[in-house]
């Protein structure tokens, strides 16, 4: 590990950035340095601009990766290298505004029924019924499930914030079935070894095949479950502020995007149990 990388990691840790963000930023900076075959200390605004053009025109990078690169380089030059003048010349792109893909309740039920692995299916059901990000669902411990108070504790979610979200009867029943058959100990969804949580890739890989088996025309990812949670609650008449708190959004306008995709079917869903009434899925 180079001295510059060590210093950047230390700067990120001092500011309480999450391990995931630290890994992301250091990889983005490393890719920038590899492209030119030089240390970032020898590079400046003209190199950053040239690299941005490579990301857009040659690598056809996603806007997420592009913005991660910009954020990483801004931190490196402004904080670690103490060259704030450089970041003034690192533009953020205007991202295309796209509405999230949302499944109907019937499509959600078909999707779950097409996921044969019990653990994978239960992770996705938890994301849908509680509005969790994939990393939040995989980070759940048995102690985070509070059946008495009907809530789930999300420890150190995005932005390193703790929050509580709903644990509906339908999800609690699914979790109890899952627990009886798998007997997890510490992590609710353990991986291999059992002392570590399940990896995100294991869940991400199962979505596309399940969508094909369910004959869904829409592109389904793990994050689709969270989009469905928010949209279905809005369609049920749940107020936007409550949904914002359940999702753990820092800004209300982030949650407001679901106003554009929610239909006018107000009051047809139970706001506390999105799994209620869905088609039964295999338990094995």
Q: Which amino acids are annotated catalytic?
A: 133, 158, 223, 226, 249, 258
**SS3 (DSSP) at 166:** strand
C-alpha 220 chain-centroid distance: 14
Give the burial string for 232-251 (b: 16+ CB within 10 Å, else e). Answer: bbbbbebebeebbebbbbee
Contacts 24+ apart (CB under 8 A), 88-96: 89/45, 89/48, 89/49, 90/45, 90/48, 91/52, 92/67, 93/63, 93/66, 93/67, 95/63, 95/67, 96/63
Buried b / exposed e over 101-115, threshold 16 CB at 10 Å, is: ebbebebbbbbbbbb
**CA distance linking residue 191 with residue 203, whole number of Å:** 11
């Amino acid at each position: 590990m180079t001295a510059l990388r060590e210093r950047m990691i230390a700067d990120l840790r001092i500011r309480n950035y999450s391990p995931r963000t630290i890994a992301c930023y250091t990889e983005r900076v490393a890719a920038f340095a590899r492209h030119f075959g030089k240390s970032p200390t020898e590079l400046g605004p003209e190199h950053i601009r040239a690299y941005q053009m490579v990301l857009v025109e040659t690598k056809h990078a996603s806007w997420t990766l592009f913005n991660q690169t910009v954020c990483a380089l801004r931190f490196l030059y402004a904080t670690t290298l103490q060259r704030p003048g450089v970041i003034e010349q690192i533009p953020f792109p205007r991202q295309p505004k796209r509405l999230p893909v949302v499944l109907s309740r019937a499509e959600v039920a078909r999707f779950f029924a097409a996921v044969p692995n019990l653990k994978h299916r239960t992770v996705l059901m938890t994301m849908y019924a509680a509005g969790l990000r994939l990393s939040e669902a995989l980070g759940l411990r048995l102690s985070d499930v509070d059946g008495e108070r009907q809530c789930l504790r999300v420890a150190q979610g995005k932005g390193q914030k703790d929050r509580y979200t709903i644990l509906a009867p339908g999800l609690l029943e699914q979790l109890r079935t899952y627990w009886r058959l798998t007997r997890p100990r510490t992590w609710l969804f353990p991986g291999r070894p059992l002392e570590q949580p399940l990896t995100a890739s294991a869940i991400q890989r199962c979505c596309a095949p399940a969508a094909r088996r369910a004959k869904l025309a829409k592109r389904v990812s793990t994050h689709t479950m969270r989009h469905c949670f928010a949209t279905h609650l809005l369609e049920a008449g749940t107020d936007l502020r409550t949904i914002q708190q359940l999702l753990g959004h820092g800004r209300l306008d982030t949650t407001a995007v679901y106003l554009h995709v929610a239909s006018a079917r107000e009051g047809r869903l139970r706001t506390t149990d999105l799994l209620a009434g869905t088609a039964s899925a295999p338990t094995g």
